[in-house]
Amino acid sequence: MTITDSRPTTPKPEPATERPSAAAAGLARTGALARLLAPVRAHLVGCAVLSALATAAGFVPYVAVAEIATLALAGGYSPSAIWGWVALGAAGAGLRLVLVFASSRLGHYADARTLHDLRVRMVRHLGSLPLGWFRANGSASVKKRMTNDLEEMHQLIAHALGELVGATTAVALGLFYLASVNPVMTLVTAGSLALLGISYRIAMRSMTLHMNRLLAAESRISAASVEYADGIGVVKAFGTGGRVLERFGEAVREQAAALAAWADETRYSTAASRLLASEMALLGILGAAGLALVHAGQLSMTELLPFLVVGIGLPTSINPAIHGTQTLRKGRVCAQNIEALLGMEPLPEPSRPLSPEGSRLELDRVTFSYDGHTDAVRDVSAVCEPGTITALVGPSGAGKSTMASLIPRFYDVTGGAIRLGGVDVRDMAASTLLSSMSLVFQDVMLLRDTVTENLRIGNPGATDDEVRAAARAAQIHDVIERLPDGYNTVLGDGGGLSGGERQRLTIARAILSRAPIVVLDEATASLDPDSETAVHSALSRLIAGKTVIVIAHRLHTIAGADQILVLEDGRLVERGTHHDLIEAGGRYARMWAAQQNGDPA
């Protein structure tokens, strides 16, 4: 029994939005794999054939040993016959080397190509999914699909395939050859292999059950150690790790107990399968049976020899097949994941895209539901005239962010329509729609590229001077100049810039893009006051002359807006200017009063 694949899985459950369920995955299993590998099928078949041939060639030296022994025992051999077998054995060995090389080459070629092509396909497909999918699933899930899942496919294509074919060929050829020597002994050999298979199955019968318990224990260990590390400050400050360490210790003990329970239950079947998989068991079985037959005069010693040379080695050649099957199983699941991603419905693109005229934004009885039951936004109508500021306010969960995310079509409305410049956003090309607006959110969207490229992506034709002007307007020019390579510094993870500086870079990009609409969602909420001031002046530059949609918690920041839309439970409950709403003495006025009270400023 192998216990090597008990790697802990990520404790985080898969997001529920990916449609094909685990149950469905059980059905069309090989289908997904076969379809994904279709483009390299010829290579894979070639790789398999070569791998089988390599095994066959590698078999020849064994046969040569057996035949030389047979000749020697028969007596009266000619030296040339002996040398002939030596030459044949050597040729087989040489050929095996060449074939292994070729097969491996082909397998890896197919592998490199598959990985590359699948990644390109995934990138392309991701580009057509609703933007909301990225919000719901996070970029970590994109990463998992593009790296971990493909890594399993790589194991499958580059290694498991050859292992499986090689092992199968080795066993088949071995039995075939032995059968030509003596059928009865071959039956004994096949019988012990069958026994090995049976005991392996028995040992593995309860694997799913135990594996689940083991994986659960491992993910608890993982969770406890993450919790421990994250809360280390508290653990140390208060002396005892107490419950946390207890939880960790418990999880470790549970893991050991789970493994012990498994080992205990399958104690004899596992030992039996390990024993039967050893050369010694075959030596014993074949030796005993063979000598009994020799003793009874039904087998000659000469006939027994091939079984000692070839037969004994058969179980060890099965081992790679067991490993290969495990990889195949994992590969199928991953293929399923990848296909599920590739099969996800893209955001519908209009067949004849229209272009907006002007930047008047119209919300026409907009309704949206994430789950199809409860509406996150309901029946909201409003007009944002070009060059005006519209603020969305309301308690958290009121639907402000959802409303804002419908404008760039992160999701499509489930009722009503959003029109930009008189055109329904669903009738525009995604690039037209998105290039007409700048999105400035809390989570900063930077590319791992140079500063210049990060700014210029919003306006590829911009000159260097324009890029610098935008950076100056966003109060970030000086910071960029201080970077090691100035504007040519490549921004990595973090990139040495603070949150506020990164935010200012995205604002500079927005300024450079000159998109007529600006959507701000709590853009400064997570910044410290130093950066906040700088970001504020950057924002003031950005919004000049633009149609602005802004979401704010702190009401004083939007008190100067042209219109304020107050949302509650997805509905529009009040609208007007700050002055109107205060006068009206409704929901907004109450919120304002509460904040004024709480705000020491």
**Contact pick of 141, 402, 452, 563 for another protein (by CB under 8 A):** 141
Q: 460: buried, middle or exposed (CB in 10 Å: 19+, 13-18, 0-12)?
A: exposed
Should residue 340 be labelled a site residue for another protein when binding is judged by CB under 8 A? no
500: which 2 tokens?
């506020």
Should residue 65 be labelled a site residue for another protein when binding is judged by CB under 8 A? yes
- Taking the least distance from each CB to another protein, the nearer of 378 and 543 is 543
Q: How far is the CB of 29 from another protein (least distance, A)?
A: 26
d(CA 156, CA 114) in angstroms, rounded, equals 11
548: which 2 tokens?
């602005």
Q: How far is CA 344 from CA 24, 146, 248, 599, in A?
A: 15, 15, 39, 47
Q: How far is the CB of 298 from another protein (least distance, A)?
A: 13
Please name the amino acid found at residue 88: L
Q: 394: buried, middle or exposed (CB in 10 Å: 19+, 13-18, 0-12)?
A: buried
Residue list 162-191, contact with another protein (CB under 8 A): none
Q: How far is the CB of 532 from another protein (least distance, A)?
A: 4
Q: How far is the CB of 124 from another protein (least distance, A)?
A: 5
- Taking the least distance from each CB to another protein, the nearer of 28 and 207 is 207
d(CA 369, CA 359) in angstroms, rounded, equals 26
Should residue 593 be labelled a site residue for another protein when binding is judged by CB under 8 A? no
d(CA 525, CA 485) in angstroms, rounded, equals 30
Should residue 76 be labelled a site residue for another protein when binding is judged by CB under 8 A? no
**Contact pick of 19, 31, 42, 268 for another protein (by CB under 8 A):** 268
Residue list 429-468, contact with another protein (CB under 8 A): 430-431, 434-435, 437, 439, 443, 445-449, 457-458, 460
Q: How far is the CB of 568 from another protein (least distance, A)?
A: 16
Rg (CA), the chain: 35
Q: How far is the CB of 535 from another protein (least distance, A)?
A: 9
376, 568 in Cβ contact below 8 A?
no
380, 403 in Cβ contact below 8 A?
yes
d(CA 152, CA 156) in angstroms, rounded, equals 6
Segment interacting with another protein (CB under 8 A) among 28-36, 411-419, 480-488, 530-538? 530-538
CB atoms within 10 A of CB 301: 12
Instruction: Give the x/- contact pattern for another protein in 228-267, rule: CB under 8 A.
Output: xxxxxxxxxxxxxxxxxx--xx--xx-xx--xx-xxx--x
Should residue 131 be labelled a site residue for another protein when binding is judged by CB under 8 A? yes
For residue 457, the 8-state DSSP code is: T
Q: How far is the CB of 428 from another protein (least distance, A)?
A: 12
Residue list 303-322, contact with another protein (CB under 8 A): 305, 308-309, 312-313, 316, 319-320
Segment interacting with another protein (CB under 8 A) among 24-32, 137-145, 170-178, 325-333? 137-145
Residue list 464-493, contact with another protein (CB under 8 A): 469-470, 473, 492-493
- Taking the least distance from each CB to another protein, the nearer of 32 and 538 is 538
Instruction: Give the x/- contact pattern for another protein in 394-433, rule: CB under 8 A.
Output: --------------x-x-------------------xx--
- Taking the least distance from each CB to another protein, the nearer of 165 and 244 is 244
Should residue 349 be labelled a site residue for another protein when binding is judged by CB under 8 A? no
547, 562 in Cβ contact below 8 A?
no
Should residue 147 be labelled a site residue for another protein when binding is judged by CB under 8 A? yes
Q: How far is the CB of 179 from another protein (least distance, A)?
A: 20
d(CA 343, CA 457) in angstroms, rounded, equals 29
Total residues binding another protein (CB under 8 A)? 187
Instruction: Give SS3 for 386.
Output: coil
Please name the amino acid found at residue 533: T
Residue list 93-122, contact with another protein (CB under 8 A): 93-94, 96-97, 100-101, 104-105, 108-109, 111-113, 115-116, 119-120
178: which 2 tokens?
């032995």
Instruction: Give the x/- contact pattern for another protein in 500-519, rule: CB under 8 A.
Output: x--------x-x-x-x----
d(CA 406, CA 424) in angstroms, rounded, equals 12
Within 8 A by CB and 6+ apart from 481, the residues are: none
Q: Which helix (H) or strand (E) holds 7?
A: none
The tally of CA atoms less than 13 A away on the side-chain side of residue 34 is: 4
174: which 2 tokens?
């071995």
43: which 2 tokens?
């290579």
Q: How far is the CB of 142 from another protein (least distance, A)?
A: 4
Residue list 2-41, contact with another protein (CB under 8 A): 2-4, 6-8
380, 365 in Cβ contact below 8 A?
yes
**Contact pick of 401, 452, 524, 563 for another protein (by CB under 8 A):** 524
